[in-house]
Structure 1
Amino acid sequence: MSKGEYDNENKSENKNASGLVPETSAGASSMTEAPAAGVSDAGAAAKDASGAGATPRKRGVPRAGVIGGILTAVALVAACGGLVSAASLTPQSPASRHLEAPVASVPAGSSVGVCPGPARLLEGTPVGTDPQFSPESATAKTAVSAAVLGSSAGVIPGSRLAPLKGAPLAEIAKGAAAAPTASAAAATASAAAATASAAAPRTPVLIAGVVPQREVDNISVLSADAQDNRQAAAGAVLSYTAEDGDLQGSATAACQQPGNDLWLVGANTALGRSAVLNLTNASSTPATVSLDLLGSEGLIQAPGSRGLLVAPGSTRSIVLAGLAPGQERLGVRVRSTGGPVAAVIQQSVLRGLTPGGVDFITPGTAPSVSQVAAGLEIQAPAALAALTAKPGFADAGPALEVAVPGAADAVVEIKLYGRDGQKALPGGGVVTAKAGAVTEVSLAGVPAGTYTVAASSDVSFAATARLTRGLQSGDAADIAFSAASARLGSQHIVPVPRTGDRQLVFGAPEGRATVSYTPITADGKIRTAGTADIAGGTTVSIKIPADVGGSPLVGYVVSAAGDPAYGALVLGRDGRQDISAVAVAPEAAGQRQVPVTLGY
C-alpha cells in the first residue's frame, strides 16, 4: 500500500468512526446526515476530474459505486427537501401552530342608543314568562332627552330619534353638511358656527343638536353617524314619572349601546315584586339570546332561558318570575349570538296596596375585581333602621348587590366615600360573597348624604347599588338602581330631563381628580364649563340649574383628568319621594384595532 492510499484509508476510517459518513442509511437520522457525505464525495470527485490534488482511489471500491453513492445522496437531499416543503404547505391544525394574530383597523361605526319604553304594569298573573300589561296610569308621562355634539368646525353629524320601525320622531341633523332641525334656534347656531369657522378656521366652534324633551309611548332609538372616523359624541336619557297607580314614582335610564354580553344585577321576584326583562334588537340581524340566572343560593337552571329569538327591529319581554320565582336577589347575564341587543329590567315594588317604587335596572360594567358606583343617596340611619325592621320592608334600605359568576367565593371589601371622606360601615365593610350567587350588603348606618361606593375583591364580580327614598311605611316610596360604571374619560354626553330636582354627582375613590362639566342648552349652544376639583376619597354634588344664559339646560359634556373619577345623574321631584339615578354613559369610541384570527 502506498503512502497516499494509507492516508486515504485512515481518513475514511476516522469519518466512519465519528458517524459523519454512516455505512448504512436506515431511518431519518441517516437521511439528515447524507447531505454532508454527499458534499464531501462530490468534492473528491471534482478533484479527480480536474487532476489537481488527486489521490488514488480506495482499493475495492469501483468508480461507478462512488458515482452511484453521489447520485443517491443527491436524491435523498431532494427527497428530504420535498418532504419539508410539502409539510410546510400542508394545512396544520390550529393547535400545532403558534402564530401572532394580525391586527386590523376597524372604522368607527354609527352611535346607537336604545331607550326603553314606558314602565307598564303587569296585568294579573302571567302564564309562563310572557307578560300582559294593563293600561297605563292617567298621570304617567314618558319622555326622551337627547344631545349630539358637533365637530370643532361646527358640523353636527347626521342624527335622529326614531322608533324601532317607522319615521323619525325628531330629525336632529340630516347629514354632515346639514344644520340641525330640532329647533330653529339650533339651526341658526349651526349656520353661525359654520361662518365663524370659515372666517377663523383655527378657532374651534362647538355646537350641539338637541332634543329637549320628546314624549314617547314606546321604545325609541337615538342614532348618529360617525364623524372623522370617530363615533359621534351622543347620548339620550329616558324619564318616566307617575303620580298615581301601582307604578307611581320615577324611573330613568340612559339609552344604551347594544351588546352581546350584558350583566344586570339587583332584580327581585319575591312576593309583591315584579321584574320584567326587555330585550331589544335594533339591528338588521336576528339575535339568539341565552340567560344565566344567579339567585341568592346559586345558579338557577331554568327551562326556557336558552335560545330566545329576538327578531330584527323588535322587543321581547320576559317575566323573570316565570324563570326564577321567589328570588329576593337575582342577577341576569344576557348573552346574544347574531345581532347585539339592549337589555333592561323594569323593577317595581308593591307592599300590599302601597306602592314601593319603580325603576329600570340597566347593565353595569363586566365582572371585575374592582367596581365603583356613584350617586348613592342614603337617608337618616335611625329612621332607616326602624323602617327596614318591619315585615316586608327589608329591601326599603340602600344596599350593594354583588354577583359572583365564578366557581370561587369572593371576599369583597366595600368602602363609602362622602362629602367629607370615607365613612365606615357598621359591619366593617368586608363580606364573603358566595360563588355563582348574588349577595346583598346593607349600606345603611352611615350619616345621611350622597356617596360613592367602591368595592374590591380577589375574584371578579358584578355589582349594582340600590337607592331608596321614603321613611314612612304607610306612604308611597320609591327605589332606584345605580349600576357600576367605568371611570370618566373625555366628552361624555349627559342629557338631563327638563324638570325636577337634578344633581350631578362625582366621586374619586383614590387620588385627586378634576372634572369639567360644560352645559348644553336648548338653543344648541355649548356654554362656559364648570370645574370640580375632587380630593381623593370624597364625593361632590352639583345642583343643576333650570337654565343657562336664558335658555333651558338640556345636558352636559363631561370630561375628567387626573386619578380615576366616576359620575352619575341623580334625579328627584320636589314635594315627592321620587328618586332615580343614571350612571354616566361611556364616551364615544374611535377607530379600533382588533385581532383577526384565521382557522378552521
Structure 2
Amino acid sequence: MKRAPLALAAVTTALAAVTGIAALTAPAAPAAADAKARQQSAAGLPVERSTLVCPAPSTSDIADTTYTTITPGKAGSQAGSPAKGSARLTGATKDAKPVLEPKTPGTPVGATSTGAEAPALTGTADGVLAPGWTAQQTTQVAVGQARGLLGVACTAPGTEFWFPGTSTAKGRQDYVHLTNADDTPAVVDIQLFGPEGALKTDAGSGENIKIGPKSSVAVLLSTLAPSAQLADVTARVTTRSGRVGASVQVAEDGVGTDWLPASTDPAGSLVLPGIPADATSVRLVAHAPGEEDADLTLRLAGPGGSITPAGSEQLHVKGGMSVSVDLKDVTRGEAGSLVLTPSGGHKAVPVVAAVRVVRGSGSKQELGFIAASGPVGARATVADNRTDTGSTTVSLTVPSGAKDAKVRITASPGTQGGEAAVKEFTVKAGTTLAIPQPPAPAGGKGSYALTVETLSGGPVHASRTLSLPHEGIAMFTVQSFADDHGTVPVPKAVQDLSILTG
C-alpha cells in the first residue's frame, strides 16, 4: 500500500530533475506564434507504399488488353526515399501470377492479354517505386454488341465511390466491379438514386455484398432494381468493412462500351475536362448527395474562353436526387471542358457529376465517359499513350477566376525503348487548351506515359483522350489526370520541453 505514493514521488522528482536540466541547457522557449508556424510547416516527403487495383478487363473472347505501369521521375530522383523499391501487379485470384513488375522509376513496363479470362489485378509498390505509381489498362473489342475501346486507370482502394451516369434501362448493361486488394474480406453496399430519389431495390439485393481477400466481384446494376428502368442513375458504393477498388463497366447496345470512373468527392464546383471536339452527343448527369438542393451554372471552357450552352444555362438538383440534361453537340468542333459552379446568390452545395459522350452516328457510334475530377496538383500521370499520329490528345483546363497556369508535360520512354521528351504550355484562365500532338518519346516504341505538372497558377484540370479508330468507328476512351499524391506532408519535429512545465 506504500509503494504507490513512493512511485509517484519518484516520478515527480524525476520530472523536476528533467525540468531543471532543461531550464539550464535548452534554448529559450519560442513565442507562441513561432511555435504555431513550425507546427504548420511540413516537409513533403515521398510516400513509401502505394496500392492499386484494376478491374477484370472484359468478358469478350476477342478482347485485346494492354497494361502499362510506371512510377514517374528518374531513378534516384525521389529525395528522401529508400534507394531500392519493388512493385508488382498480380491477378486477384487464388493462383495469383505477376502481370507487371516495374523495376526503375521513369521507365514504363507493359504487358498484354487476350480473351475473357484476364482477371482483376491487385498490387503494391514500395520504396522508390511507390511515389506516384500509376497503371492503366486499355481493352479493344473489335466486333459484337459490346464492341469498342475501354480504358480505365487502376485506382487506390477506398471506402466510398459515386458513379453518376449509370443506368438500369433496357439495352444497357452496367456492371460495378468491386476488387479487394487486402488479405481480409470486405463487405459492400450499393445504393441507386434516380430523379425521384433512392430506388427501391429487392430486399437486401444491394446490401452486404462480400468480396473475399484478393478477389473481385461484378454486380449488374439492373438486377438490384428490376422494376426500375431508368436511363440516368447515380450509384453509390460504400464499404461496411474493409476497402475496395470500384469502377463501372458500361455496354450500350448499338452504341459502344467503356469504363465509367468514379466522380471526384462531392463539391460545390466541379470540372469535367476534355470533351472531344467531334462529340455528337453529350449528356450530363448530376446528383446532390445531401438533403439540400443545388443550383448550378453550366459553362463550357473552350479554346477562346467560357460560354454558356444555349438553353442549359442553369441546373437545379434536388437533394438526394439525380438530374440529367442533354447538351447535344455542345463542343461544336472545338474541344472543351464542362464547368459547374454555384449560381449567383446561391450557396455552394456539394454535388457529383459525369457526362456520357458519343462520337460518330448510326452504326458507327462509340461511347465514352468523363467524370468530374480534381486538379492535377503538383503532378499527375496517365499511362498507355500511343505514338500513332492523332491517337493521343491532352486537354488542359483552368477555371474562370483562377490564375493563368504554366504546365510542364513529360513523355516517358516507351515500353520498348526511346527517350523522354518535355514541353511546357501556358493555359489561360477560363479556357481549355487541347493538345492533339503532346510530347512523345523520341524513337519510342510501345506505349508510354504522360506526366502533367503544375508549375504556376491554376488549379489545372486535365484529361487524355486515346483514339484508336477501327473500321470507320471512332473508338476512343478518356482518362482524367488525378493528383498522384506522391508526397505526404510530414511536420517538422522541434525540441520543446515546455510540455514538462505546462
TM-score range, shorter chain: 0.7 to 0.9
Match of 1:161 among 89, 95, 104: 89
**Superposed, which structure 2 residues align to 1:554-565 within 5 Å?**
554-560=448-454, 561-565=456-460
- Confirm or deny: 8 A CA contact 1:137 1:244 kept in the other structure: no
How far apart are residue 587 of structure 1 and its match?
1.4
1:264 aligns with 2:203: no
Match of 1:429 among 313, 329, 332: 313
Assess if the C-alpha contact under 8 Å between 1:276 and 1:345 holds in 2: yes
Gaps of 5+ in 2: 1-38, 78-82, 343-347, 492-502
Return the alpha-carbon distance in structure 1 between the equivalents of residues 135 and 301 of structure 2. Answer: 28
| Matching residue of 1:576 | 473
Aligned partner (choices 147, 157, 160) of residue 70 of structure 2: 147
- More strand per residue: 2
Contact kept, 8 Å, 2:165 with 2:354, in 1: the verdict is yes
- Residue 344 of structure 1, CA deviation: 0.9
Alignment partner, residue 72 of structure 1: none
**Equivalent of residue 327 in structure 1, options 221, 230, 233:** 230
1:78-93 residue pairs with structure 2 within 5 A? none
1:288 aligned residue: 187
Q: How far does residue 338 in structure 1 lie from its aligned partner after superposition?
A: 2.8
Structure 1 position 109, deviation (Å): 4.9
Match of 2:434 among 515, 538, 541: 541
1:276 deviation in Å? 0.8
- Cα distance change of structure 1 residues 345 and 543 upon mapping to structure 2, 3 Å threshold: same
The residue that corresponds to 2:249 in the other structure is 346
Contact 1:161/1:222 (8 A) holds in 2:
yes
1:317 has 2:224 as partner: no
- Residue 480 of structure 2 aligns to which amino acid in structure 1? A
Q: Tell whether the 8 Å contact from 1:210 to 1:524 is kept in structure 2 after alignment.
A: no
Cα separation, 2, equivalents of 1:312 and 1:285: 5
Q: Indicate if the aligned counterparts of 1:213 and 1:497 stay in contact, CA closer than 8 A.
A: no
TM-score normalised by structure 2 residue count: 0.78
CA distance in 2, matches of 1:499, 1:323: 42
TM, length-normalised to structure 1: 0.66
Q: Would the aligned equivalents of 1:294 and 1:300 in 2 still touch at CA under 8 Å?
A: yes
**1:107 CA drift (Å):** 9.4
Query: RMSD of the TM alignment (CA)?
Result: 2.7
Candidates 432, 439, 457, aligned match of 2:323? 439
Matched, 1:415 2:299: yes
Is residue 2:410 matched to residue 1:490? no
Query: CA contact under 8 A between 1:378 and 1:448: conserved in structure 2?
Result: yes
Percent of aligned pairs with the same amino acid: 25
- The structural deviation recorded for 1:328 is 1.1
> Partner amino acid for 1:271?
K
Aligned counterpart in structure 2 of residue 567 of structure 1, from 459, 462, 482: 462
Equivalent-residue separation in structure 2 for 1:441 and 1:433 (angstroms): 11
Aligned residue for 2:424?
A: 531
Note if 1:403 corresponds to 2:287: yes
Corresponding residue to 2:393 among 496, 503, 507: 503
Task: Report the Cα distance in structure 2 between the residues aligned to 1:527 and 1:107, rounded to whole angstroms.
Answer: 22
Instruction: Determine if contact 2:99/2:111 at 8 Å carries over to the other structure.
Output: no
What amino acid is the match of 1:567?
A
Q: Give 1:564's aligned amino acid.
A: P
User: Amino acid of the residue matched to residue 483 of structure 2?
Assistant: P
- 1:486 is displaced (CA, Å) by 0.9
In structure 1, C-alpha distance between the alignment counterparts of 2:273 and 2:438, rounded to whole Å:
20
Kindly state the Cα deviation for residue 478 of structure 1 after the two structures are TM-superposed: 1.1
Equivalent pair of 2:192/2:198 in contact (CA under 8 Å):
yes
Task: Tell me the distance in 1 between the aligned counterparts of 2:282 and 2:311.
Answer: 14
Contact kept in structure 1, 2:149 and 2:258, CA below 8 Å: yes
Q: CA deviation at 1:456?
A: 1.8
Question: In the alignment, which of 511, 518, 525 is matched to residue 410 of structure 2?
Answer: 518
Rg: which structure is higher?
1
Change (3 A) 1:422 1:156: farther
Q: Secondary structure, in 3 states, of the residue corresponding to 1:496? A: strand
Name the counterpart of 2:141.
Answer: 242
User: 1:249 offset after TM fit, Å?
Assistant: 1.1
* Residues matched between the structures, number: 422
Looking at structure 2, the residues matched to 369 and 547 of structure 1 have their Cα atoms a distance apart, in angstroms, of 36
Match of 2:262 in 1: 363
425-434 or 207-216, larger mean C-alpha shift = 207-216
Q: Summarize deviations over 1:219-274 as a string: whole Å, max 9, x none.
A: 123431144xx942211111111121111111111111110111111111111111
What residue identity is the alignment partner of 1:158? S
Tell me by how many angstroms 1:170 deviates.
Answer: 2.9
Partner of 1:114: 53
Q: Deviations over 1:178-235 (max 9, x none)?
A: xx4xxxxxxxxxxxxxxxxxxxxxxxxxx523213433622123431144xx942211
- Structure 1 residue 573, shift from structure 2 partner: 1.9
After superposition, the Cα gap between the structure-2 partners of 1:295 and 1:573, relative to the gap in structure 1 and judged at 3 Å, is: same
Q: 1:454 aligned to 2:339?
A: yes
Residue 526 of structure 1: how far off its partner (Å) = 6.4
Which of residues 101, 120, 126 is equivalent to 1:225? 126
Q: Quote the offset at 1:524 in angstroms.
A: 6.9
Q: In structure 2, what residue type is equivalent to 1:463? A: A
Instruction: Tell me how far apart the structure 2 counterparts of residues 421 and 234 of structure 1 sit (CA, whole Å).
Output: 34
Structure 1 pair 156–518 and aligned structure 2 pair: CA distance change class (3 A): farther
Matches of 2:438 and 2:487 in 1, distance apart? 32
Counterpart of 1:170 (choices 88, 100, 112) is 100
Displacement of 1:339 after TM fit? 1.9
